[in-house]
Structure 1
Amino acid sequence: MSSPSASGGAVACGAGVFGAERRARALAARAAFLGVGLEDPRLKGAQRLLGDRRQPWLRRPWVALAAALAAVGAAFLWPDGLLGRGVGDAVSAGSLTGDPCHLMVRACAKSGAEGGFLVHACAVYMPDQLVKALRPPEDCSMCRGLTQVDKVVNISPAAFEERYAYTGRPVVVGDAMENWTARHEFSFQFFKELYEGSSEYWSHQINCQFFPYDTEFRALLEVFNMSEDRARMRYGTKPWYIGWSNCDETAARALRRHYTRPYFLPTTAESKRTDWLFMGSPGYGAHMHVDNVEHPSWQAQVRGSKQWQLQPPPECLYECRALEVTVHPGEIIVVDTNRWYHSTLIVSTDMSITIGAEYD
């Protein structure tokens, strides 16, 4: 799902461990919502941490590489000492290739530290190519022989599980949103009113993810403060495309009044609690990237049309071919974005709105 990506070099932590810069920005956005100025003493710690993260030497690739190697070495040397059991367990479980975040972050903080801002302050930017190099190799049977993305309707959960659910084979289901009121209710104004009236979202934003892509926005609050002309994509205004994870239980209940669990998911599968939403204007989308999430995901095209470009992992380039599919309103695409490199482009004249989630 064009979502929690390793692209851009930021280490993404599946357990809610985010880089210091993202956390400081989230604090600043929450402060703005609460009317707290950036000079307020309560934000000095976040500003100081953000300043430390922006020191030029921290952005040099050799620093990230050295930190990674140091973390690996430390994990083997002191699995039960200064670093705590977290790193040793991560290495023994094979997380060296699967989740470099565990090594990069846990090597900087004692396992006894819980909660608190500074526990996660040592997350550093890893070069994009290094992140990709640390990914485990894929079994090319996931894409071997595929020439197109199937489009199906009226597929049973059993058939979906056998052919698509966990095989890595992408599919578009065309009839899974027939009873969803989201197709008529979801809009820029709907989300604006939903989140502007929710203090719960802003109080939990520090643990959420926001994807600005090629826009100037730093937080969801800034998106909803854009001009009405730009929000309505009127001629001459700047296009935009953003995404976010929903961490607000009140908002989640409101969202789920308008959509239901896709009927085709295996009966034993659980659709995760976190909703991922993506919204933007024609001609924009997500660049080519691969995600760093735990499970495959579904993404429902509520409004607009979005073209997906799927590239097999590098080790499968000689056995598999690139795929392309356009997902139209009312269709749901299912793709393992941890394995398929993917980009998206809004190809409709209407705004694109999608909602999705992982499933296990």
Structure 2
Amino acid sequence: MPASLQDMFRPPVQCDMCRQVTHVERVHSVTSQLFEERYAYTGRPVVITDGQRNWSAPHVFSFEFFKSIYADDSPVLENFERDCQFFPYQTEFRNLRHVFNMTADRVNMRGEPWYIGWSNCDSSAANILRDHYERPYFLPQAAESSKTDWIFMGTPGYGAHMHIDHVGNPSWQAQIRGRKLWTLEPPPECYFQCIPMEVVVEPGEIIVLDTNIWYHKTLIVSEELSITIGSEYD
């Protein structure tokens, strides 16, 4: 079903999730119990400032790293093109193969800006990625993360347009490199009870958000390449 029709038939939400929320809280060293009680399933967005504890991803993830995983002749790329999703946003890229064949100048921000995203549903690629990040420490003990990784990458001045997702569960997104401005808007039924909010997510931080109920857009505000990775949890 097209996204516009999905939005039209989206079930209304209870505005308790945003009625008294005036800003996106930033917390650290949060226990899984407190996270579950206050944020996990309430719809209240939060940034965990120490969310990437003991991850090597900030030192490893790069355009070239992902290009090596999704090499032209790799079964990973073949599996991706058959089974996974690609989001070109406002670029001319047709697929991930097209992205990883862009010029070095454009990769290094000396050409037209770009922003893309994709889902990784290949198990061998997932194993490589998860060598460098782990299940966020603050998730409830009974929560299970999706087997699908979502990766977003791009250059300054670009990001995702305002939209709402239809993925079923809340999600977390880790800012590996760069800085990203998130703009959140409540759903239409809550316009007169809740307010829009903005928050900048810094490298090393994780934003947790139910993107099925908050309309959201992003903008890369750093002077370097932005890389994020995330997943849903139940």
TM-score scaled by length of structure 1:
0.64
Residue 198 (structure 1) aligns with? 74
**Which structure has greater helix proportion?**
1
Structure 2 match to 1:219: 95
For residue 181 of structure 1, the aligned residue among 56, 61, 83 is 56
Q: Is the 8 A contact 1:305 1:326 kept in 2?
A: yes
> What corresponds to 2:201 in structure 1?
327
Q: Is residue 179 of structure 2 the alignment partner of residue 301 of structure 1?
A: no
Cα distance, 1:132 vs structure 2: 1.7
Calculate percent identity across the aligned residue pairs: 61
Where does structure 2 lack aligned partners over 5 or more consecutive residues?
Answer: none
1:271 aligns with 2:145: yes
Deviation sequence 1:336-355 (CA, Å, 0-9, x none): 00000000000000110000
Query: For 1:287, which of 142, 154, 161 is the aligned residue?
Result: 161
Residues in 1 aligned to 2:6 and 2:140: alpha-carbon distance in whole angstroms: 32
Shift of 1:205: 2.3
Report how many aligned residue pairs link the two structures.
233
User: Relative contact order: is structure 1 or structure 2 higher (C-alpha 8 Å, sep ≥ 6)?
Assistant: 2
Which has more radius of gyration? 1
* Alignment root-mean-square deviation, CA: 1.1
1:175-205 CA-partner distances (Å, limit 9, x unpaired): 1213111001000000001110631331342
> What is residue 86 of structure 1 aligned with on the other side?
none
Unaligned runs of 5+ in 1: 1-10, 12-125
* Post-superposition offset of 1:207: 1.9
Give how far 1:291 is off: 0.3
Q: How does 1:151-162 map to 2 (within 5 A)?
A: 151-162=26-37
Aligned mate of 1:143, from 6, 18, 21 = 18
Alignment partners' CA distance in 1, 2:224 and 2:213? 30
TM-superposition CA deviations, 1:246-273 (whole Å, max 9, x none) = 0211111100000010000000000111
The within-5 A match list for 1:22-33 is none
Alpha-carbon distance between aligned partners in 1 of 2:221 and 2:232, rounded to the nearest angstrom = 25
- SS of the counterpart of 1:344? strand
1:205/1:247 contact within 8 Å kept: no
Partner of 2:39 in structure 1?
A: 164
Q: Which residue of the partner structure matches residue 208 of structure 1?
A: 84
**Structure 1 match to 2:117:** 243
1:206-241 CA distances to partner (integer Å, 9 max, x unpaired)? 22110000000010000000001101112xx10000
Classify the secondary structure of the residue corresponding to 2:126.
helix
- 8 Å CA contact retained: 2:80, 2:120: no
> 1:225 and 1:176, CA in 2 relative to 1: closer, same or farther beyond 3 A?
same
Q: List structure 1 runs of 4+ shifted beyond 6 angstroms.
A: none
Q: CA deviation at 1:134?
A: 0.5
TM-score by length of 2: 0.97
Instruction: Give yes or no for the alignment of 1:229 onto 2:105.
Output: yes
